[in-house]
Structure 1
Amino acid sequence: MLNVETRYAIDPETAKSLDTSGIRKNFHVSGLFEDDRINLVYSHYDRLILGGIVPANGDLVLDEVKEAGTSSLLDRRELGILNIGDKGKVTVGGEIYEIDRGEVLYAGMGSGPVTFGGAGRYYVLSAPAHHSYPTRLIRLQDARRVELGSAETSNKRVILQFLHPEVADSCQLLMGYTEFAPGSVWNTMPAHVHDRRMEAYLYFKLGVDQRVFHFMGKPEETRHLVMANEEAVLSPPWSIHCGAGTGAYTFCWAMAGDNVDFTDMDMVAMEDLR
């Protein structure tokens, strides 16, 4: 069963006038992962689609999504798939890919319907595409690893880059995830913005009572969202995106926009945050 929710883009002046429920209604995403359902959010920020697919009792097929305006979703789009569950099986273009937990499958423009099966729990991201790149399964050992931070500053972490120019080609979709060492909780601090790309986070591997406080907004006008396990946040191009948790966690980051230059960001000095 397919369910699609549309989220419209709003400007920073409107965003700063919202109360907690208004902030959550526009930027917070929950309930993505339901058995035997394809739940998608179609965002007007760079037309990114994010979603959860759980084929608990049989295969699920991602094909036509009315909001995309094409007969099949990948007619003019690309797709990144992260498995956060057990071993899964995804079929693209008639070829079956067995995808383990923590691995990413890329499906290029024109790949046709995508079938999800096995014991996987799939987080999917799709952006408009202009070129057809080959479908590719990126194993954990093939990801680019960037180790940052320290225990002393509570941000010792490793960034695993999957859809990245040094790992796998894509049109505009950048994708990977960041894992924290025990005792480390701060992500992406000092903060930054990149007005040329929007971003989406999925927080996962959180305990039942664990939360992440995600910070967003213009640097001089920040707000926060309280995030539970397997909840996502849409981050507009004008917004910072960082967070702190009540314990170690993992988050999947994805970007879409003008370029695939991961380092294209405008840093925000700590003294400028409000």
Structure 2
Amino acid sequence: MQVRYSTSPTSAETATTADLRETFLVQDLFVEGEVNATYTHEDRMVIGGAVPGSGQLELPAYTDVLGTESHLERRELGIINVGGAGHVLVGDEKFELEHLDGLYVGRGSEVTFAGADAAFYFVSASAHATYPSALLKHQEVEPVALGSSDAANERNLFRYVWGQDVETSVLQFGVTVIANGSVWNTFPPHLHARRTEIYCYVDLAEDDRVFHFMGQPGQTRHLVMKNREAVIAPPWSIHAGAGTGSYAFIWAMAGENNCYTDLAPVAVEDL
């Protein structure tokens, strides 16, 4: 497990491209037969990927970093399958996940990943209470239509866990799918002063990229990202991007509260 420390907005203003990538970009999460993860001190979130291949993989405890005997002893977990069909065992309970299906797992559970073609993206956050697991089928979640084709930001927002329906301590997550012909996500951008947000870009073609924008308004920077890479957006940073082809992204948030609308819009003229 990699460890990333908290950052200040001034550090991004003078950072080189290499500095930005080392601090905020999370790569190489999805390696067959492995579970790989990064711990960020920004709201103490864990970002990870599990690719079981022909076997099974358990969610590691990461005791040296988390200080517990099991990963979810004091945490809750969100999972989204970014590959082919697979399943997740939560204790003895089996959950089947197709592409972009999600799963919420409550505090105290033991988790095992399986599926020869599956690739599981996961995010965990500190939890003060235990809530039941919930399967979130992509095809059964009613999307929220956002943006327009004229503005090149038409997209469907799939809210899996967002403070309603599924109860959690602090974790929220879901998927946004960009419409064909549009390029922008989360644009115009906004800020979450009381929460960290993490993006994982998925379903990009091999030669496509997303130009992800971050930083304070008026001091923006960008990262060039490829398929299945994640980026950490601290509370002081905007988070928006534009892709060279079709794509989707998984968003996950944790922090001071779990009110989905707790955000501050940023006007384009202020960028």
Give the TM-score category using the shorter length.
over 0.9
Corresponding residue of 2:181: 183
Counterpart code for 2:225: M
8 Å Cα contact 1:185/1:246 also seen in 2: yes
> What's the counterpart of residue 2 of structure 2?
5
User: Given the alignment, which residue of 9, 29, 32 partners 1:32?
Assistant: 29
2:20 to 19, 23, 37: 23
Deviation at 1:248, TM superposition (A): 2.0
- Give the letter aligned to residue 17 of structure 1: T
SS of residue in 1 equivalent to 2:175: strand
Deviations 1:206-249 (Å, cap 9, x if unpaired)? 11110110000000110000011111100010000001111221
Q: Could you tell me which residue of structure 2 aligns to residue 130 of structure 1?
A: 128
Q: Which residue of 1 aligns with 2:213?
A: 215
Query: Does 2:48 correspond to 1:51?
Result: yes
Corresponding residue SS for 1:74: coil
* 1:121 aligned onto 2:123: no
Aligned residue pairs: how many? 269
Residue 263 (structure 2) aligned to one of 249, 261, 265 = 265
Answer whether contact 1:144 1:162 (CA < 8 A) is retained: no
Work out which of the residue numbers 75, 78, 91 in structure 2 matches 1:77: 75
Percent identity of paired positions between Structure 1 and Structure 2: 48
- Give CA deviations for 1:128-169 in whole Å, capped at 9, x if unaligned: 000100011111244241001111111111000101222311
TM (norm. structure 1) is: 0.96
Give the counterpart of 1:151 among 149, 152, 164.
149
Q: Structure 2: which 5+ runs fail to align?
A: none
1:232 and 1:14 map into 2 onto residues whose CA distance is: 20
1:102–1:140 contact (8 Å) kept in structure 2: yes
2-structure distance, mates of 1:229, 1:110: 32
Tell me, in whole angstroms, the C-alpha distance in 1 between the residues paired with 2:138 and 2:212. Answer: 26
Quote the residue 1:254 is aligned against.
Answer: 252
Hey, what's the Cα distance between the residues in 2 that align with 1:7 and 1:99? 30
Query: In 2, distance between residues paired with 1:141 and 1:245?
Result: 24
Q: CA offsets per residue over residues 148-204 of structure 1, 9 Å max, x none?
A: 111111111100010122231111111001001110011111111011000000001
What SS does structure 1 have at the residue aligned with 2:72?
helix
CA displacement at 1:110 relative to structure 2: 1.0
Displacement of 1:101: 1.2
**Once superposed, what is the RMSD of the aligned Cα atoms?**
1.0
How far, CA to CA, are the matches of 2:127 and 2:209 in structure 1?
35
Shift of 1:78: 0.1
Shift of 1:8: 0.6
Q: Give the AA of the match of 1:6.
A: V
